[in-house]
Chain A
Amino acid sequence: MNCASPKFDPIPAKAGIGLRAPHYREILATLPAAGWFEVHSENFFGDGGQPLHFLEQIRSHYPIALHGVGLSLGSAGPLDRGHLARIKSLAGRFQPGFVSEHLSWAGVDGRYSNCLLPLPYTEESLKHVCRRVERVQEFLGRRILIENVSSYLQFKQSTVPEWEFIAAVAARAGCGILLDVNNIYVSAVNHGFDPSLYLQAIPRGAVEEIHLAGFEAQGDILVDTHSRPVYEDVWELYKRAVLRFGITPTLIEWDADIPPLAVLLEEAWRANAVMEGEYAFSA
Chain B
Amino acid sequence: MRFLRELQRDFMEAVYGGDESGFARKAVADEFSGRERLRLYRHIAFGNMTDALRAAYPVVEQLVGKEFFDGAAWEFIRRYPSRSGDLHDFGAEFAGFLSRFPSAAILEYLPDVARLEWACHKVFFAADRDAFPLDRLAQVPQSRYGHLRFKLNPACRLVRSRFPIRRIWEIHQPDYRGERTVDLNEGGADLLVRRRERVIGLFPLGPGEWDFLSALGAEQTFSKACGGVLIKNPGFDVAGRLRHFVADAILVDFYDERKRRGKSKSA
The A-contacting residues of B in range 136-179, CB under 8 angstroms, are 154-155
A28: interface (CB < 8 Å): no
Q: A213 to chain B: closest CB distance in Å?
A: 15
A221 to B38 CA separation, bound complex (whole angstroms): 12
Q: Kindly list chain A residues whose C-beta atoms are within 8 Å of the C-beta of B29.
A: 153-156, 158
Q: Within the complex, what minimum Cβ distance (angstroms) separates B10 from chain A?
A: 10
Cβ of B129: which chain A residues have Cβ within 8 Å of it? 48
Q: Is B180 an interface residue (CB 8 A)?
A: no
User: Is A110 touching B83 in the complex (CB atoms < 8 A)?
Assistant: yes
Residue ID in chain A nearest B45 by CB atoms: A113
**Other-chain residue from B40, B45, B49, B155 in contact with A49 (beta carbon distance below 8 A):** B155
Tell me, yes or no, whether A97 is within 8 Å of chain B by CB: no
Query: Is B85 a contact partner of A107 (Cβ separation < 8 A)?
Result: yes
From residue B5, how far is it (CB to closest CB) to chain A in Å?
4
**Stretch touching chain B among A68-76, A193-201, A275-283:** A68-76
Using C-beta atoms within 8 Å of the partner chain, give the interface range for chain A.
35 or more
Q: Would you call B195 an interface residue if the criterion is a C-beta within 8 Å of the partner chain's C-beta atoms?
A: yes
Complex Cα spacing A106 to B90, Å = 14
| Interface-lining segment among A120-128, A135-143, A162-170, A177-185 | A120-128
Q: B85 to chain A: which residues have CB within 8 Å? A: 42, 69-72, 80, 83, 106-107, 112, 114
Q: Please judge, given known A-B contacts A108-B12, A223-B44, whether A155 and B28 are in contact too, CB under 8 Å.
A: yes
B residues less than 8 Å from A106 (CB atoms) = 85
Measured as residues with beta carbon below 8 angstroms from the partner, the interface class of chain B is: 35 or more
**Are A108 and B9 in contact (CB-based, < 8 A)?**
yes
Other-chain contact of A221, B34, B37, B127 (Cβ < 8 Å): B37
Cβ of B6 to closest chain A Cβ, rounded Å: 8
Q: In the complex, A154→B155 CA distance in Å?
A: 46
When each residue 175-191 of chain B gets 1 if its CB lies under 8 Å from chain A and 0 otherwise, what string results? 00000000000000000
Kindly supply a per-residue 1/0 record for chain B positions 81-102, scoring 1 wherever the CB is within 8 Å of any chain A CB and 0 otherwise.
1111111101000000000000
Interchain pairs with CB closer than 8 A, number: 144
Does chain B have a CB within 8 A of A115? Answer: yes
Q: Nearest chain-A residue to B10 (Cβ)?
A: A108
Select which of A76, A114, A153 is within 8 A of B45 by beta carbon: A114
Chain A residues whose C-beta falls within 8 Å of the C-beta of B82 in the assembled complex:
107, 111-114
The reply to whether A108 and B5 form a contact with Cβ atoms under 8 Å apart is yes
Any A CB within 8 A of the CB of B8: yes
Q: Which residues on the A side are within 8 Å of B9 (C-beta)?
A: 108-109
Any chain A CB within 8 A of the CB of B231?
no
CB pair A111 B155 closer than 8 Å: no
Q: Are A223 and B41 in contact (CB under 8 A)?
A: no
B130 touches A1 (CB 8 A): yes
The verdict on B64 contacting chain A, using a C-beta distance below 8 Å, is no
Q: Is B60 an interface residue (CB 8 A)?
A: no
Instruction: List chain A residues, Cβ under 8 A from B52.
Output: 114
B7 within 8 A of A: yes
Provide the bound-state CA to CA distance between A46 and B123, in Å. Answer: 10
**In whole angstroms, how far apart are the Cα atoms of A279 and B28 in the complex?**
41
Q: Which of B8, B11, B30 has the most CB of A within 10 A?
A: B8
A47 on the B face (CB < 8 A):
yes
Residue of A nearest to B9 (CB): A108
A111 lies within 8 A of B40 (CB): no
* Residue contacts A-B, CB under 8 angstroms, 24 given: A42-B85, A43-B88, A45-B86, A48-B128, A48-B155, A50-B198, A70-B84, A70-B87, A76-B8, A83-B85, A108-B12, A112-B84, A113-B12, A113-B82, A114-B49, A114-B82, A117-B11, A117-B41, A124-B3, A153-B34, A156-B28, A157-B7, A157-B27, A223-B44
Binding site for B on A (CB under 8 A): 1, 42-43, 45-51, 53, 69-72, 75-77, 80, 83, 86, 105-115, 117, 119-120, 122, 124-125, 128, 152-158, 218, 221, 223
Residues of B within 8 A of A (CB): 1, 3-5, 7-9, 11-12, 15-16, 27-30, 33-34, 37-38, 40-41, 44-45, 48-49, 52, 81-88, 90, 123-130, 154-155, 195, 198
**Can you list the 5 inter-chain pairs with the closest CB atoms, starting with the nearest?**
A46-B125, A70-B85, A47-B127, A76-B5, A48-B128
